[in-house]
Amino acid sequence: MSERVRLEARGLVKRFGGLVAANDIGFDIRAGEILGLIGPNGSGKSTVMKLVMGIERPDAGSVKLDGVETAGWPSYRIARAGVGIVFQHSRPLHRQTVLENIKLALLPDSLLRLAAAPGVDERAREIAHAVGLGDVLHRHPSTLPFADLRRMEMGKAIARDPKVVLIDEPFAGLTAGEVGAFSELIRGLRDQGRAVLLVDHNVKSVAALADRVLAMYLGQRVAEGTVDEVMRDETVRRVYLGGTIEVVERRGANAEVKPPLLRLEGLSVFYGKAQALDRVDLDVREGEFVSIVGLNGAGKTTLFNAVSGLVPYSGEVRFADRVLSGMTPGAIARSGVVQCPESRELFGELTVRENLDLGGQHLAAGARTDQLAWLFELFPILEARQSQVARTLSGGEQQMLAIARALMMQPKLLVLDEPTLGLAPVILEQLSKALERLRESTPITVLLGEQNVTFALPHADRVYLLEHARIVWEGEPAQFAAEMGAGYL
Amino acid sequence: MTTVFGPRLLLFIAVFVLVASVLPLWLSAYVLGVLTTAYYFGVFSMAWDLLFGFAGEVNFGPTFLIGLGAYTAALLDNQFHLPIPVTVLAGALAALVGGLLLAVPALRLRGPYFGLVTLVAVLLLQNAIVIFAAFTGGEIGMTVPDVLSIDPKVNYWYALAFLVICAILLFGLSRSAIGLILQASGQDAIEAQALGFNVTKHKLAAFSVSALFSGVAGAMLIFYMGAASVGTVIDIGIGVQIIIGAVLGGRRTILGAAIGAIFLVVVTEVLRPLGQLNTFVVAAVALAVILFFPDGLLGHVLRPRESE
Amino acid sequence: MTSLQILVDGFAISSLYALAAVGFTLIFGVSGVLNLAHGGIMLVAALIGWWVAGETPLGVYGGTVAGIVAGLLAAYITYFLVVRPIQRSSAIAHEEKEIFVLTGTLLWGIMIQTGMAYIFSDNPVTMRPLIGGVVNVFGVRTPRNEIMIAVLCWVVIGLLWLLINRTRVGKQMLAASINPRGLTLLGFELSKIYLRVWTIYGVLAGGAGVLLASFLGVGTANAGQLTASAFSIVVLGGLGSVSGSLVAAYVVGYLETVTAYLISPTLRPIPALLLLVLVVYVRPQGLLGRR
Amino acid sequence: MTNSKHVSARLARGMLSAGAALALTLSLTPGGAAPAAEPIKIGVIGEESAVAGASITKAAQMAADDVNAHGGVNGRNVEVVIYDDHSSAADAVRAFQRAVSEDKVSAVVASYISEVALAIEPWSARLHMPFITPGAASTDISKQVHDDYARNKYTFHGWLTSAFIAQSICDFQHDTLVKDFHVKSTVVMSEDAAWTKPLDERFLDCLPKAGIKVLDHIRFNPDTTDFTPIFNKIEGEHPDIITTGISHVGVQPTVQWHDQRVPIGMAGQSSQATTSTFWKDTNGAAEGVITASAAAPGVALTPNTIAFTQAYEKRFGASPAYDGYTTYDEIHVIADAMKAAGSTDPDKIVDAMEKTHYTGTVGTIEFYGKNDLYTHAIKYGPGFVTGLVFQWQSGKQVTVWPRDKANGKIAFPASIKMPK
C-alpha cells in the first residue's frame, strides 16, 4: 500500500457532442492496489477507462504513468509504455489456437521481425498456465467455454507484463464458481505489484477485491473511498437504489386467483459460450404488476428479449395459453406482448407524433384517436412536444415517449425494461406517478425490469430477483425490503 | 519453417510443385498457356486476399494496382526499350506508390466507402489511359516488343516459379508475426492497438506488400501476353474475376485464393465450348458456391487445424 | 446562351440519374443492401421494354409497362435468390454479410448482363419516345420526350415522397431505415417491409431503365456503368439519404454537362469522379448523409 | 425471321450447347474415327453477343461450306473451329492458343476489335500462325508487320485501316456532298479512342483537300451517354455537315441527333450504323445517317456480292455486317493460298497470301507488301477495295458511293438543312 503512485489521472474531461461523458475525473492507483471504478450504465466509467488507454483522447486533463504524461498518446504507445486492458467483449483470432492468441500479445510491433523471438513460445505457455488455460493450449477459441475466453483475454493483457491493468466488467457472464477463480487471478495481479483498475457497474462484485472504490454517475464523481464507505454513501445508494425503499399497499389481492398470462419454464439463453439465462421459471398473472430486479448484466434484458422472440432460447414461453416460440417478434408484439426496451429504440428522426402513430397503426382509426388522447393525458408533456423530432427530446421525455409508443399498441402485457436508466431523480418521480396511474386506471399487466429497487418495488405485486442469470428470490415487495434490501447492492 | 506450414501442408506443396513443374512434359502448349495465365491470376488473388482476409480491407480495385504495374512496365518497354527486369521493377514501384495512395483513404474509411474509392481509382486509371492514348495506346492497348520467352514451357515455368515464390512469401507472411497482427487489427483494430500494435504501420505494410506483388505479377503477365490493354489488366471485370477467385477458393487462406483463381480460369476454358454462355455459367457456379459453401472450395481444408 | 443550354440539358439527364439512383438508395437505407446488380435490373427493363414495343402489337405503352414489370421481376429474383439467402445464411458470419451481398449481387449482375447479351446481342438499343417532336425552352431546342422524362422523373419522385412521408406504409419504411428493431417491437414484420421496398425498388429501377432506353439508349455493356453511377451518386449524397441522392444526382449531372460544354467532352466523367473521391475522403457521410 | 423467333431460337440453342458442353466434358477422349483425309482446320474467333462479331463466325461457316462444295483444298475439306472471346483480349489470346495447340488449326480469322487483334498479333508471331482480322481498323496492326516483318509477317489486316476509311469518306464527300450539295465546311466528331487517332489525322488532312473546311475537331469520351452538349456546340459553329468517327457509341448519338432535330447531317464512319439491326435499334432515328461500310445489301460491288448476301440472308435471317463480307472473302483467300502453296505450312501460306489477287464480295483483294507503309493490309483504291458509303433511308441501306455502284440518291430528312 505504501508503494508509489503508478497511474495518476487528473481532471479528465470528455465530451461527445453536447453530452459530457466524463467531467473532471481524477484518481491515483498505486502499485499493488486495486481501484474499483463503479457506476451504472451511461455513468461514464467506460469512457474514463478508454481515456486512460488512449482509445479516446481526453478533451482536458492529464494521465501520468509513472510520472510520464500519456494523455493524447495513441493507444499502442500507451500499451507499450505499460498499460494493459482486458476488454469485456473481445474478438479473438478465431482460426488460431489459444496459445497463438496469447503469443500475439507477445509479438514485437515490428515489420521486420517476421518470426517470433525464441523465448516467446515458452513464455506464452507460462502465461496460459498461469491463467488456467494449460489444458486447452491448442484449442480454437470458438470451442472454449466463455470463462476460458475471458481467461485468454486476461492472459493477453498480462503478456506484456504491464504496470497497470484495466479490466472492464471482470465478472460479466461468469458463473458464481468462475467469479471466485477470476477474483483469484485479479488478486494475483495485485500481488505481483501491478496497479489494477476494475471497471464495473456493480459495487458488490468488486467489493471483495477493491482496495478503494470510485463511484461515478452521469459523468461525475459521486463518491470515493473504501468499499464500505462508498456503499454507505447516500448519493450512491440513491443512484442505485433510488433512496429509501418504500412499499405501497397492494391493490386488490384477487390477482392470486387469476390464471397466469405469461409463464416461463426452464428458460435458458446462451450468447455463444456465455450463459445469459439459466433455467428461469417465472409467472405473470393477469392484471398483475411484476418486477424483476437485478443489477446490470444479471440477465433481465435477455429475459425480455427471449419473451419478445428476439433471441433464440431453450425452454418454453407461454402467453395466454399460446407457445410463443416459433412466432416472429412482430407477431408476438401483435398478440399483445409489447416490450418497451431499455434502449428505447425510438425513431430518432421522426416526430413524437409519428412515433406514436406507428405504434397505433394496428388499431382502428377511432380506437387510435382515443388511445392517443388517453396517452396525452397520461404524459401531458408529449402532447406539447408532438411535432418535435424524437432525437431532440430530453432523456426523460424520450423514455415517456417509448412507454407511450408501446401503450399505443394496447398491450395485454407491457414489458418495461429499465425505464429509469440514466434519468435524473426528478424525472423518476414523474415516471413513477405515470406508472401508478397506469396501474390504477387500466387492467394492464406489467412486467418491469429494474436495477433501481426503489423504483421497482412500490408498483409491484410480486418481485423476482435475478442474479447471474438465475432467479434467486421471489416474493412480496415488503418481504424483499426486509430480506434482501441490505445485501442487494 | 515447418512450424509455419505444418508437415502435411509442406508435403502437399512439395507434391504440387513437383507435379506442376513436370507437367510441360505431357501437356500441350495450349493447356500450358491457360495454366500460365491462371498462375498469374493466382498471384493476383493471393495479393488481394492479403488485404481482404488479413488486413480486413475490401479492395474492389485490385486492377488499379495490377494496371499500374503492367502499364508502367509496358510503357517503359515500348517507349524506351528498357530491359525487362528494369521495367518490372519500375512497375512494382509504381504499384507500390499506388498501394500507398489507396492506403491513405483505407485508414480513414470503412466498408462500402473504401470499396467505392478503390472502384473509382480503377475508373480514373482507365480514363487516364484512354485520354493519354498517344502514349498508352488507349483502349486498344499497346504491344510490348520484349517477351519473357516465346517457348510456352519456359513461360509456364516462369509463371509457376513466380506463383510458388509468391505463395511461399505471402502465405509465410500471413502465418508470421505480421500476419497475426494484421488479422488482429482487421478483426478489432482497437484491441490490436491496446495490445501495443501500431495498426496504421501494419496496414500500410499490408498495402505495400499486396501492391508490390500485384504490380510485379501484372508486369510479368503483359510480358507473357505480349500486349497490355485495358481489357487484359485493368477492366473492372478482371478485378471481379480476381475477387471471385479468392472468395471461391476460400478467403483468408492465401493458398485457397490462388487455387480459386486458377480454378476459375481453368473452368472458363473447359467451358469454352459453351461459346458465348461460358461467362454466364461460370458466374452462376461462383454464385452457387458463395451461397452454399460460403467458406469457399478449400476454406475448410486450408484452415489451420487444432492439434490436440 | 451556353449557360441556358447547360441549365436545360443538365436538367433532364440529372433527373434521370436521380430516378435511377433513388431506388438504389432506398433499399440501402431501409435494408442495408448495396445491390450491385442494379445496372443489370435496369438493363432487363430496358431491353424487355424495347423488345415488346418493337416486336409485339402492344406498342410503346405496352413496352413501357412490360419493361417495368420485367424490372420488378428481376428485382424480386435478386432479393429472393441472392440477397435473402445470404442474409438468412447461418454459415456466413454477421460482419461478412456485407461482402457476401456485394459479391453475390455482383455475380448475379454479370449473369444478367451476359444472359441479356446472349438473347438480345450487345447492341445498344433505344425505345421509340413516348412523344416525339421538339419545343423551344428558353431558346434551347429540346425534345418533348426529354421534357416528358424530366417531368415524369419528378412525378415519380414526388409520388415516392408522398408515399414515404404521407402514408402508413411509407412511415413504416422510414422507421425501418432509422431503427428496424424498434419497428419489430411495434409488431411489424420486417420481412414484409423489405418485400415492399424491393417492390418499389423494382418499379423505380424498371421505370428508370425504360426511360433511359427511350432517352439515351441502353446496351448490355452499360450495365456496370449504370451500377457504378448509381453507387457514386448514392455515396456522394450520403448512403441511404433519399434527398441526398437527389442533390447528388444533380451535382453529377450538371458537373458532367458543364465539363462537356466548357472544358472538353473527352474529360466528361472525370470531375465527377474526382469530386466523389474528395467528398468520400473529406466527408464520408456524403453531402446530406447523417451519422 | 422476326426478332421473337430469333430470341427463342437463341434460347433453344443455349440449352443445346449447354448439353453439348456437358457431353464434351463427359467424353474424355477426343477420339473418333479419322476420315480418310483429315480436314484442314481454320480457327474463327468471334464475338457472338455483338452483331459484327456474330457475322464473322456465320460468314466463315458459309465460306467453308462453299470451299468444300467446290472440292475443298488439296483434296481435303475445310473445317472452321469457332470460338467466342466475349470481346476480351485476354480471352481471345487463350482461344488463339487453344486453336493452335489443341485444335491444330492452320490459320486463324479473328475479331473486329482492334484491341483483340493487337493482342493476338504477338501470339501469331510466336506460334507462327497465319492470322487475319476481318474487321479491326487500327493502323498499328499493319504498322507492326512493317516494323518487324520477320517476326510479325504471319499477321494480315483484312479490313481497311482507319486511315483508308477516312480517305474513303473524304473521297465520298468530295464526289457527292461537295458536288451535289455544295458542302463547304464540316466539324469532325469522333470518340476519343486509339483507333480514331489515325482516322482523325487523315480527316484533317484530306477533308480540306476535298474542298471542305474543317471548322472544329471534337473528340468526346466513349462513355458519353448524353450528346446534347456536343450537338449544341457543333450547331453553334454552323458547319454544313458533321463528319463522324464512332464505333463504341452509335445508337445513342444517332437517336439524340434525331430527337433533338439537329439540323445538320451526319456522314462518316459509324460502325454500329453498318449493322442491319441499326434501324430497329434506333427506332428509325437512323433516317438520313450516312456511313462508310464494306458492302450493302443489293449492291454488286463485284459479281459475287449479291449471291453471297442472298445466301447469307437465307441461311441466317439477317444481312451480314461489314466484316461478314470480309470474313467470307478471307476464308477463300486463305483456302486459295493453301492451294497455291500446296501445303498448310505457315510460311508457305504467308508467301502465297502475299501474292493474293482474289475478287471476292467487297472488291479485289491484294495485300500491301513488305516495303509499303501498311504491310499486309488490304489495298485501298479503285480496282481494289474501296468500301462503299450508304445512307439509311426508310429502313433501307441505300448505297450512294462509289457512284458506279450506287443504287440511290442522297436524301436528307426535312429537319436537316443542307446549304443547297
B146 touches chain D (CB under 8 A): no
Q: What is the pLDDT of residue D353?
A: 96
CATH 3.40.50.2300 residue ranges in chain D? 38-159+302-365, 163-293+387-405
Alpha helices (H) in A17-145, listed in sequence order: 45-53, 75-81, 98-106, 120-130
Q: What is the pLDDT of residue A244?
A: 55
Q: Mean pLDDT across the stretch A263-283?
A: 86
Tell me which of A242-256, A267-281, C247-261, D1-15 is least confident: D1-15
B197 touches chain A (CB under 8 A): yes
Looking at CA atoms only, how far is residue D248 from chain C in angstroms? 10
Q: How many CB atoms lie within 10 A of CB B227?
A: 27
Mark yes or no for CB contact A329/C179 under 8 Å: no
Rounded (10°) angle between helices C97-120 and B111-131: 40
Q: Is C188 among the domain residues?
A: yes
Q: Is the pLDDT at D18 greater than 70, yes or no? A: no
Name chain B contacts of C232, Cβ cutoff 8 Å: 116, 120
Mark yes or no for CB contact C124/D192 under 8 Å: no
Provide the residue count of chain B. Answer: 308
Q: How many CB atoms lie within 10 A of CB B284?
A: 17
Q: Is the pLDDT at A170 greater than 90, yes or no? A: no
3-state DSSP: chain B helix, strand, coil percent, rounded to 5? 80, 0, 20
How confident is the model over D277-289, as pLDDT tens digits?
A: 889 888 889 999 9
Measured distance CA(B244)–CA(B242) in Å, rounded: 5
How confident is the model over A430-484, as pLDDT tens digits?
A: 888 888 888 888 888 999 998 777 788 888 889 998 887 889 888 888 887 777 6
Select the more confidently predicted residue: B294 or D369. D369
Q: What is the pLDDT of residue C40?
A: 95
Residue D243 grid cell: 463528319
Chains that touch A (3 or more CB pairs under 8 A): B, C
Rounded (10°) angle between helices B236-249 and B111-131: 140
Mean pLDDT per 10-residue run, chain B (308 residues)?
A: 62 86 87 93 94 83 93 93 93 95 80 80 88 83 85 92 93 86 85 89 90 95 91 87 87 88 90 82 87 77 50
How confident is the model over C129-177, as pLDDT tens digits?
A: 878 778 888 777 788 888 888 899 999 999 998 998 889 999 999 899 8
Q: Which of D186, D323, D300 is nearest to D243 (CA)?
A: D186
Chains that touch C (3 or more CB pairs under 8 A): A, B, D
Name chain A contacts of C183, Cβ cutoff 8 Å: 347, 358
B304 touches chain A (CB under 8 A): yes
How confident is the model over A353-401, as pLDDT tens digits?
A: 999 999 988 888 889 999 999 999 888 889 988 989 888 888 788 899 9
CA dihedral D339, D343, D346, D348 (to 10 degrees): -70
Q: How does residue D25 score in pLDDT terms, banded at 50, 70 and 90?
A: very low
Q: Mean pLDDT across the stretch A213-237?
A: 86
Rounded (10°) angle between helices C223-237 and C242-258: 120
What percentage of chain A carries pLDDT values higher than 70? 91
SS (H, E, C) D132-180: EECCCCCCHHHHHHHHCHHHHCCEEECCCCHHHHHHHHHHHHHHHHHHH
Mean pLDDT of chain C: 88
Q: How does residue C1 score in pLDDT terms, banded at 50, 70 and 90?
A: low
C122 touches chain D (CB under 8 A): yes
Measured distance CA(A37)–CA(A24) in Å, rounded: 15
> DSSP 3-state assignment of A292?
strand
Measured distance CA(B232)–CA(B140) in Å, rounded: 10
Q: Do B257 and B46 touch, CB atoms closer than 8 A? A: yes
Q: Which of A344, A331, A336 is nearest to A261 (CA)?
A: A336
**Nearest residue in chain B measured CA to CA from D128:** B150
DSSP of D355-386, one letter per residue? T--EE-SSBEE-B--TTSTTTTBBPBSTTSB-
Measured distance CA(C233)–CA(D22) in Å, rounded: 43
Q: Is the pLDDT at A426 greater than 80, yes or no? A: no
How confident is the model over C107-128, as pLDDT tens digits?
A: 899 899 999 999 988 888 888 8
Q: Which of residues 204-223 of C touch D (CB under 8 A)?
A: 216-217, 219-220, 222
Name chain D contacts of B147, Cβ cutoff 8 Å: 122, 126
Q: Is C246 among the domain residues?
A: no
Q: What is the pLDDT of residue A3?
A: 61
Q: Mean pLDDT across the stretch A46-73?
A: 92
Q: Is C29 among the domain residues?
A: yes
D21 touches chain B (CB under 8 A): yes
Could you say which of C182, C187, C188 has the minimum Cβ distance to residue A346? C182
Options 3.40.50.300, 3.40.50.10540, 3.30.60.50, 3.40.640.10; CATH of A5-241: 3.40.50.300
Select the more confidently predicted residue: D11 or C96. C96
What percentage of chain D carries pLDDT values higher than 70? 91
Mark yes or no for CB contact A104/B199 under 8 Å: no
Q: Is C13 among the domain residues?
A: no
- CATH fold for domain A253-488: Rossmann fold (3.40.50)
- C61 class by beta-carbon count within 10 Å (0-12 exposed, 13-18 middle, 19+ buried): exposed
The amino acid that residue A297 corresponds to is G
How confident is the model over D185-219, as pLDDT tens digits?
A: 999 999 988 788 899 999 999 999 999 999 999 99
Q: Mean pLDDT across the stretch D14-22?
A: 46
- Homologous superfamily of the D163-293+387-405 domain (CATH): Response regulator (3.40.50.2300)
Q: What is the pLDDT of residue D19?
A: 46
> DSSP 3-state assignment of A418?
coil
Q: Mean pLDDT across the stretch C96-100?
A: 83
- A126 class by beta-carbon count within 10 Å (0-12 exposed, 13-18 middle, 19+ buried): middle
Residue B89, C-beta contacts closer than 8 angstroms, at least 6 positions apart: none
Mark yes or no for CB contact C9/D230 under 8 Å: no
Q: How does residue D5 score in pLDDT terms, banded at 50, 70 and 90?
A: very low
What is D38-159+302-365's CATH number? 3.40.50.2300
- Rounded (5°) CA angle C281-C287-C289: 95
Q: How many domains does chain C have?
A: 1
Name chain C contacts of B127, Cβ cutoff 8 Å: 269-270, 273
Q: What is the pLDDT of residue C112?
A: 95
Residue D10, C-beta contacts closer than 8 angstroms, at least 6 positions apart: C118, C119
The structural domains of chain A, with segments of one domain joined by +, span: 5-241, 253-488
Chains A+D touching (3+ CB pairs under 8 Å) = no
Rounded (10°) angle between helices B278-292 and B236-249: 40
Chains that touch B (3 or more CB pairs under 8 A): A, C, D
Tell me which of A28-42, A64-78, A107-121, D227-241 is least confident: A107-121
B180 touches chain A (CB under 8 A): yes
Q: What is the pLDDT of residue D420?
A: 64
Name chain A contacts of C189, Cβ cutoff 8 Å: 328, 330-331
Name chain D contacts of C117, Cβ cutoff 8 Å: 49
Best C43, C56, C266, C270 member to test D by mutation, with max D CBs in 10 Å, is C266
Chains D+C touching (3+ CB pairs under 8 Å) = yes
Q: Is the pLDDT at D3 greater than 50, yes or no? A: no
Q: Do A464 and A488 touch, CB atoms closer than 8 A? A: no
Tell me whether the omega of the peptide bond preceding residue B83 falls within 30 degrees of 0, making it cis. no
Mean pLDDT of chain D: 87
Alpha helices (H) in D182-319, listed in sequence order: 196-209, 228-237, 251-259, 278-281, 305-316
Looking at CA atoms only, how far is residue A156 from chain B in angstroms? 8
Cα B225–chain centre separation: 16
Q: Is C280 among the domain residues?
A: no
Q: Which of residues 177-206 of D touch C (CB under 8 A)?
A: 192
**Nearest residue in chain D measured CA to CA from B130:** D193
Tell me which of A201-205, A481-485, D204-208, D309-313 is least confident: A481-485
Tell me which of A109-113, A119-123, A209-213 is least confident: A109-113
Measured distance CA(D344)–CA(D326) in Å, rounded: 22
Best B31, B125, B140, B225 member to test D by mutation, with max D CBs in 10 Å, is B140
Measured distance CA(B187)–CA(A275) in Å, rounded: 24
Mark yes or no for CB contact A358/C186 under 8 Å: yes
Q: What is the pLDDT of residue D16?
A: 46
Tell me which of A2-6, A140-144, B53-57, B275-279 is least confident: A2-6
Mark yes or no for CB contact C143/D7 under 8 Å: no
Q: Do B116 and C280 touch, CB atoms closer than 8 A? A: yes
* Residue showing cell 435494408: C31
Q: What sign has the CA pseudo-torsion B219, B223, B228, B231?
A: negative
Q: What is the pLDDT of residue C67?
A: 96
How many Cβ pairs closer than 8 A exist between chain A and B? Answer: 88
Could you say which of C175, C187, C191 has the minimum Cβ distance to residue A350? C175
C95 touches chain D (CB under 8 A): no
How confident is the model over D49-95, as pLDDT tens digits?
A: 888 889 999 999 999 999 999 999 988 999 999 999 988 888 899 99
